[in-house]
Amino acid sequence: MQRRHILKFAAVTALLALSSFAQAQQPAYQTLNPAQPTVGNGQIEVIEFFSYGCSHCDSFDPILAKWRGEQAKDVVFKRVPVSFGRPEWAALGRLYLTLNALGLSDKLDPAVFDAVHRGRVKLDDEKTRNEWLTKQGVDVRKFNDTWRSFSIDSLAKRSEQQSAAYKVMGVPALAIQGKYMLEGGDPKSLVTASSLIAKVRGPVAAAPAAAPAPAAAAAKKPAGK
């Protein structure tokens, strides 16, 4: 009886080990099929799918900001807000799109995350949002005109379409050049993102070989007599 228990334990341990090995062997990213269109022009597009309402996105934001600043000029970074059908997240996504349209998102992103996750400020509520924006020095009238504009309506719809096309199941998530998707959230994911950017970029073209040195001028033969 005791031997049977030992054998069962050994079998379970082996299965767990195989399962862990299989998970370790899985790639840290997924290849998108079909691939999605990108900016082109020799640039490499990186998209972060995120929400101001996501606690993991909040933790990831300063790590990602540092990584963004280290990228080469051919890397173009974009953010696409997702809602997963939540009205609060939809409003926070529209907040991002409006701030971005006004050129204020990079400046105010950390403040928005801080307000939502530590200040518990309900930025999905218009009155509360207007009061908070005023404290941030934002022209609230201009903000609300932009918020209600056709262009923001279109961008909000486009964001939802993109998250569906990229099959986003959770955030933060990173898409590299419309070809690869991976979960964000920690420095390890950015190591993977960097390796995928290098993969997209391809091997560095070899420098053209230096032109051969001109052959020494042939010695002149003495004139015949």
pLDDT of residue 202: 86
- Alpha-carbon gap, residue 40 to 38, rounded angstroms: 6
How many angstroms separate the Cα of 161 from the Cα of each of 36, 51, 58, 83, 150? Answer: 12, 15, 23, 11, 17
Q: Tokens 């020799």 belong to which residue? A: 42
Q: Is there a contact between 159 and 97 (Cβ–Cβ < 8 Å)?
A: yes
Band (22; pLDDT cuts 50, 70, 90) = very low
Encode pLDDT of 182-203 as tens digits: 999 999 999 999 999 999 998 6
pLDDT of residue 24: 41
Q: Is there a contact between 80 and 38 (Cβ–Cβ < 8 Å)?
A: no
**Rounded average pLDDT over 106-128:** 97
Share of the chain above pLDDT 90, in %: 75
pLDDT of residue 40: 81
Encode pLDDT of 54-75 as tens digits: 999 999 999 999 999 999 999 9
Q: In angstroms, how far is CA 93 from the centroid of its own chain?
A: 16
Given a cut of 80, is residue 7 above it in pLDDT?
Answer: no
Encode pLDDT of 38-54 as tens digits: 988 899 999 999 999 99
DSSP state of 207: P
Encode pLDDT of 118-169 as tens digits: 999 999 999 999 999 999 999 999 999 999 999 999 999 999 999 999 999 9
**Can the peptide bond before residue 212 be classed as cis, meaning omega within 30 degrees of 0?**
no
Q: In angstroms, how far is CA 26 from the centroid of its own chain?
A: 21
How many angstroms separate the Cα of 179 from the Cα of each of 28, 35, 41, 96, 170? Answer: 14, 5, 16, 25, 18
- Averaged confidence pLDDT in the chain: 85
Given a cut of 80, is residue 204 above it in pLDDT?
Answer: no
User: Would you list the domain boundaries of the chain?
Assistant: 29-197
- Alpha-carbon gap, residue 70 to 191, rounded angstroms: 12
Q: Which CATH class is domain 29-197?
A: alpha beta
Neighbours of 179 (CB within 10 A): 19
